[in-house]
Amino acid sequence: MLLGLLVSSTPRPVNAADIVATHSMSIPPSGRTAGRWSNGAFLVVRNERSPTPSFEAYDRIGAKIDNIRLEIPGAQLIIVHSGSFARSANGAWAIAGTAYDGEDRGAAFIALRSSLDHQTLIRTAPFIPYQIAVSNDGTVWAAGYELPAGKESPQYFIIRRYGSDGHLIGASVPRSGIGDTTIPAMRSFFAVSADRIVWYSDSAHLVLEFAVDGSETGRYRIAPMEFRGICVCDDNTVWMGMSHVVGNDKRVELAIIERPHGELRTVAELVKPVGFLYGCDGTKLVWHEATQPRLQIAWLERISR
């Protein structure tokens, strides 16, 4: 259990709050690709590099509530990256990856799977989706890149939005406006609340906030750090996890982004050196506590402000 681990031996900000674990659950470990929290369910992928990856959804007590298998006609291998799958509140899935045929020819895709098992396949070339999220209205958000001839294109839109029918409904965030960095979407993360979408690029150290209609509402530069997750809660508080070293101890800070300038304010420290901030469940943080022998997930609540 995480209770008792939220302590700090270093001075804390005047406005620091206390955080406690309200409950936890465990599920079978998910292999090499990390799971994620999406619209009230914890998702994992199994056989993420295979002809038929499978996906599972678990509720707050660790009971399996959904299980699907992805199949693409003609694909001999499908590769699904960490963060490249999401599930809507009504049980529809969005999955991004690359499918390879028997001659090792690859094609990027987004697969939309309804709760009735109807599948829509979007061929996204030249855009390669790397991260996926589903907003509260059912819109599928993708962060990705274009890589013609093995070299990143200097001109493309990083964020794309698709309707539930698979049609592209919008594109934003020009690559030229991010600056000189490695491919911004390669190590990036989406976070979703009831009426907001947040995207963080770890290589660009950039946080972007969007309204559900796709309009950008905030942009913040973050100091380089060892990233441990990002989420946005239903009160629209944006949280980040980050690692740092105190003496011989490696610790994880939980911080919030202060608007309008994007300063990070530490709320608590975890002396346990592992973990990842998967998302928000209402206003509680969904935290990866441990991996072995089972994947342990804890819900953290801020009890003072």
CATH of the domain at 156: 2.120.10.30
Q: How many domains does the chain have?
A: 1
Q: Is residue 6 part of a domain?
A: no
253 and 164 in contact (C-beta within 8 Å)? no
Residue 16: the pLDDT is: 40
Q: Is residue 95 part of a domain?
A: yes
Residue 94: the pLDDT is: 97
Extended strands (E) in 114-152:
119-123, 127-134, 140-146
The pLDDT mean for the chain works out to: 87
Residue 6: the pLDDT is: 37
CA pair distance 199, 97, nearest whole angstrom: 19
Residue 14: the pLDDT is: 31
Q: Answer whether residue 185 shows pLDDT above 70.
A: yes
pLDDT, tens digit, 9 for 90 and up, residues 191-237: 999 899 999 999 999 999 999 999 999 999 988 888 899 999 999 99
Residue 272: the pLDDT is: 63
Residue 3: the pLDDT is: 34
pLDDT above 70 as % of the chain: 90
Q: Is residue 11 part of a domain?
A: no
The residues, any chain, with a CB within 8 Å of residue 215's CB and separated by 6 or more, are none
Q: Answer whether residue 10 shows pLDDT above 50.
A: no
- 16/246: higher pLDDT: 246
Domain interval for residue 110: 19-302
Q: Is residue 4 part of a domain?
A: no
CA pair distance 17, 12, nearest whole angstrom: 9
CA pair distance 139, 83, nearest whole angstrom: 16
Q: What is the pTM of this model?
A: 0.89
Q: Is residue 215 part of a domain?
A: yes
Q: What angle do CA 6, 205, 14 make, to 5 degrees?
A: 35
